[in-house]
C-alpha cells in the first residue's frame, strides 16, 4: 500500500469532506474519490460513511486512521535516522585487515577519526585476515585494508601508501653479509612468519612459489616481538615491512637485508564496495587513512 493512501485518509478525516480534502491535497474531487475507492478495495471494507455531503469515519476507518498516523510518524523517524547516518551523527564501520601488523598504526588513525565522528562505532573484525575481500563481498565488513588486489568489478581499491619489505636476518647467518637476497637464499633458512597459512601469504605466493623455492622449515609466530626475538637468537629469518622492523635494528644480533637488487615494495589499499551513495562518514574514514599514511 502506498504512503499517499495513508495521507489521503488523514486529509479526508481532518477536512470532513471530499471538497476540502481535495483542496488540501491539490487534487480534483474526482481523483480523490477514485483513490479513496482504491483504498477501500484494497482493505476490503468502507472507511467512511457518506452522510449527505460529509464523510464520517466507520469503526474500521477510525482504526485505519490511527494506524495511518503511526505509520507516517515511523516513516518520518526513518527519514530522520537516515539523514543522521548520512551526516555521520550516528553510524557503524566494520573493518578488517589483510595483516595483523596494521594494528601498529591503525589505533592512531581511529583515535583521530573518532574525534570528528564520536558517535560512529568502529568495529575491528576478528575474522581470518587471509580472506578480507571475501568478507567485504559477503557484507560482513565495510572496509578491508589490503596489499593484494583483484579485478572484481564490485570493489573499489583506493591506494593509501607504499612500503618496502625487508628480510630480518640474524648477524650470525652468512646471509646478513649479502647486499640483497634472491629467492634461492630462502631455500636454506628456517622462515619465521606471521601467516598461519604460509602457503597463502603474499611473500610465498608472489616471490617464493613462482621461483619454485621452499624454505627448509616454516615457523609460525603471530607476534612481531616474538618474531624479532626468534631472529635475534639465530633461529631463523623473517620478512617484515621496513617500518615494522626498525625498532629491532638497534640490536647487534639482527640486520635488515633488502630483497632483490631493487628492493621489494608493496602497495596498500582500502577496499570498499563500489557505491555512489556511501555515507559521508565512510568517505571521511578513507580520507583519514590516506592522510595519515601519506605522512607516515
- The helix (H) or strand (E) run that includes residue 202 is helix 202-203
Cell numbers 609460525 correspond to 220
User: Cα 195 from chain centroid?
Assistant: 22
Cell numbers 621496513 correspond to 242
Euclidean distance between CA atoms 145 and 132, whole angstroms: 8
- Cβ-proximal residues to 211 (8 Å cutoff; 6+ apart), any chain: 183, 184
Euclidean distance between CA atoms 253 and 233, whole angstroms: 8
Which of the four CATH numbers 3.40.190.290, 3.30.540.10, 3.90.1150.10, 3.40.50.300 does domain 92-296 have? 3.40.190.290
Euclidean distance between CA atoms 127 and 28, whole angstroms: 59
pLDDT digit string (tens) for 51-102?
Answer: 877 889 999 999 999 999 999 999 998 887 787 777 667 789 999 998 888 8
CA torsion angle for 65, 66, 70, 73 (degrees, to 10)? 60
Output the pTM of the full model.
Answer: 0.68
At residue 48, the 3 state secondary structure works out as strand
For the chain, 296 residues long, give each residue's pLDDT as a single digit of tens: 889 999 999 999 999 888 889 888 888 989 999 999 999 999 999 999 988 778 899 999 999 999 999 999 999 988 877 877 776 677 899 999 988 888 888 999 999 999 999 989 999 886 555 688 889 999 899 999 999 888 888 999 999 999 999 999 999 999 999 999 999 999 999 999 988 777 778 899 889 999 999 999 999 998 899 999 999 999 999 999 999 999 899 888 999 999 999 999 999 999 999 976 788 889 999 999 988 887 65
How far does the chain reach from its first CA to its final CA, in angstroms? Answer: 55
Domain ranges of the chain: 3-87, 92-296
Cell of 8: 489521503
Cβ(103)–Cβ(97) under 8 Å? yes
Fold for 3-87, please state it. Answer: Arc Repressor Mutant, subunit A (1.10.10)
Amino acid at each position: 500500500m502506498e504512503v499517499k493512501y495513508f495521507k489521503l485518509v488523514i486529509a479526508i478525516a481532518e477536512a470532513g469532506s471530499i471538497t476540502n480534502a481535495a483542496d488540501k491535497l491539490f487534487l480534483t474531487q474526482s481523483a480523490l474519490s477514485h483513490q479513496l475507492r482504491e483504498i477501500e478495495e484494497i482493505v476490503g471494507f468502507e472507511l467512511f460513511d457518506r452522510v449527505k455531503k460529509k464523510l464520517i469515519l466507520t469503526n474500521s476507518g477510525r482504526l485505519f486512521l490511527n494506524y495511518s498516523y503511526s505509520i507516517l510518524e515511523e516513516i518520518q523517524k526513518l527519514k530522520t535516522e537516515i539523514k543522521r547516518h548520512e551526516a555521520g551523527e550516528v553510524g557503524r564501520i566494520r573493518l578488517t585487515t589483510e595483516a595483523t601488523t596494521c594494528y601498529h598504526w591503525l589505533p592512531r588513525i581511529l583515535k583521530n577519526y573518532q574525534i570528528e565522528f564520536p558517535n560512529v562505532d568502529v568495529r575491528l573484525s576478528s575474522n581470518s585476515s587471509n580472506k578480507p575481500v571475501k568478507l567485504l563481498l559477503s557484507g560482513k565488513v565495510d572496509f578491508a585494508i589490503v596489499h593484494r588486489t583483484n579485478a572484481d568489478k564490485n570493489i573499489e581499491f583506493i591506494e593509501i601508501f607504499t612500503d618496502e619489505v625487508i628480510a630480518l636476518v640474524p648477524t650470525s647467518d652468512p646471509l646478513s653479509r649479502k647486499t640483497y637476497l634472491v629467492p634461492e637464499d630462502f631455500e636454506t633458512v628456517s622462515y619465521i612468519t606471521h601467516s598461519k597459512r604460509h602457503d597463502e601469504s603474499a611473500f610465498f605466493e608472489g616471490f617464493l612459489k613462482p621461483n619454485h623455492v621452499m624454505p627448509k622449515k616454516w615457523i609460525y609466530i603471530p607476534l612481531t616481538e616474538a618474531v624479532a626475538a626468534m631472529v635475534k637468537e639465530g633461529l631463523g629469518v623473517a620478512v617484515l615491512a621496513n617500518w615494522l622492523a626498525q625498532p629491532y635494528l638497534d640490536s647487534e644480533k639482527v640486520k635488515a637485508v633488502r630483497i632483490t637488487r631493487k628492493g621489494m615494495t608493496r602497495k596498500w589499499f582500502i577496499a570498499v564496495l563500489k557505491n555512489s551513495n556511501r555515507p559521508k562518514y565512510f568517505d571521511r574514514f578513507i580520507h583519514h587513512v590516506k592522510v595519515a599514511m601519506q605522512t607516515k
